[in-house]
Amino acid sequence: MLRNALEPWHILVVVLAVVVLFGSKKLPDTARALGKSMRILKSEARAMRSDGTDATGTETAGTGASGEPAAAPGSPADSRR
């Protein structure tokens, strides 16, 4: 049933509809803004990964906020926090 869902003429119709809806003058600006947003998203994801946090903002196991190993509760290193 969906074997031939996307044929080349389907893509052509979608491209023509986008050009008619947004206009040919607006498309380069839109593409530029989309590319800029993607670059920002990638850099933020890379920064989060290098900080040792996951997508939810929680720290990964075994590291503190500064990236050093977390001290056991009650240890002398724990009292400085």
With H, G, I as helix, E, B as strand and everything else as coil, classify residue 4.
coil
Res. 61: pLDDT tops 70? no
What pLDDT score was predicted for residue 34? Answer: 92
Q: Please tell me the total count of domains within the chain.
A: 1
- Is residue 9 pLDDT above 50, yes or no? yes
pLDDT band for 81, please (50, 70, 90 cuts).
very low
- pLDDT tens digits, one per residue of 13-58: 998 998 888 888 888 898 899 999 999 999 999 999 998 755 555 6
Instruction: Identify whether 34 is part of a domain.
Output: yes
pTM: 0.43
Give yes or no for residue 73 having a pLDDT over 70. no
In which domain, by residue range, is 39 found? 25-50
43 part of a folded domain: yes
| pLDDT at residue 63, as a whole number | 53
Phi, psi of 63 (to 5 degrees): -125, 150
In a domain, residue 44? The reply is: yes
Residue 3 lies inside a defined structural domain of this protein? no
Q: Running DSSP on this structure, what letter comes out for residue 80?
A: G
Q: Buried b vs exposed e over 26-38: b needs ≥16 C-beta within 10 Å?
A: eeeeeeeeeeeee
